[in-house]
Amino acid sequence: MVTQSPDRNKVEQLVRQLLRQQTAGPTQPGPSAPVAGKPLAGNQGAPNPLVVNVSARHVHVSQTALDALFGPGSSLTKLKDLYQPGEFASNQTVNIIGPRNRMIPNVRILGPIRDYTQVELSYTDGIYMGIDLPMRVSGNLEGTPSGVLIGPYGAYNMEVGIIRAERHVHMGPADLAYFGVKNGDYMDLVIEGPCATTFQNVLVREHPKVKLEIHIDTDEGNACHLNSATRMELIKK
């Protein structure tokens, strides 16, 4: 039972502070969804703009998961378009609970609905959550860690699906031809600037209708301080 005491104000103050922090959540290392970055200068004569986007932590959901989290028959509503046509950041967010009973709140769901549920975190997030994240290509979830998502309607137990996304570049036919690579190849990505960094082993992912776009995570984006990058170069191995 709560009793009144001279410490009441102090306690109230602490709780208010904690509630504010709760809303703020743990270190949020960037936007809560990939955003369309400005193209960088780089590979001369490339057929498409050279876009590097940082994927902050996010979630993809199946309809089954969405129903459990937001109520039966729910659908995702669009907050804003992402760089790839048809992809969008939704207005829906969930809390992720990990094995150390730590939570990352307000993680954005990216649409459209997929046929699997997947959480993409950085290694920084993984250490906080107590999860030894496997590095995977999106959708390749066999044997990956489980977790619990919490939505306003209810919880959803993921049996698998928490990963660090492998750094990758989306390419269409014109890009593959220009760079002389094929789906599944690996390339080097050189980021020039004050924190110049070369990311080796950038996976090529082919799709006929995709725009050229390189996806790195927040650890990688912050390691090379992408915001201050002056130039990039994709190099065939």
Of 172, 177, 144, the closest CA to residue 160 belongs to: 144
> Shortest gap between Cβ of 43 and a copy of itself (angstroms)?
18
Cα 32 from Cα 216, distance rounded (Å):
14
> Shortest gap between Cβ of 124 and a copy of itself (angstroms)?
4
> Shortest gap between Cβ of 187 and a copy of itself (angstroms)?
12
Identify which of residues 75 and 140 has a Cβ nearer to a copy of itself in the complex. 140
Cα 99 from Cα 147, distance rounded (Å):
8
Identify which of residues 48 and 197 has a Cβ nearer to a copy of itself in the complex. 197
- Cβ atoms of 189 and 226 within 8 Å: the answer is no
> Shortest gap between Cβ of 88 and a copy of itself (angstroms)?
23
Binding site for a copy of itself (CB under 8 A): 1-2, 4, 8, 15, 18-22, 24, 26-30, 101-103, 122-125, 127-128, 135, 167, 194-201, 218-220, 222-225
Question: How many Cβ atoms sit within 10 Å of the Cβ of residue 100?
Answer: 11
Identify which of residues 211 and 231 has a Cβ nearer to a copy of itself in the complex. 231
> Shortest gap between Cβ of 32 and a copy of itself (angstroms)?
12
Identify which of residues 39 and 134 has a Cβ nearer to a copy of itself in the complex. 134
Identify which of residues 1 and 86 has a Cβ nearer to a copy of itself in the complex. 1
Identify which of residues 62 and 197 has a Cβ nearer to a copy of itself in the complex. 197
Task: Say which DSSP state 24 is in.
Answer: H
**All residues at 6 or more sequence positions from 237 whose CB lies less than 8 Å from its CB, including other chains:** 185, 186, 187, 188
Identify which of residues 23 and 44 has a Cβ nearer to a copy of itself in the complex. 23
> Shortest gap between Cβ of 19 and a copy of itself (angstroms)?
7
**All residues at 6 or more sequence positions from 210 whose CB lies less than 8 Å from its CB, including other chains:** 84, 170, 171, 172
On the CB side of 3, CA atoms within 13 Å amount to 2
- Cβ atoms of 124 and 131 within 8 Å: the answer is no
> Shortest gap between Cβ of 204 and a copy of itself (angstroms)?
16
Task: Say which DSSP state 123 is in.
Answer: H
Region at 188 (left for phi over 0; alpha for psi -120 to 50; beta for the rest): beta
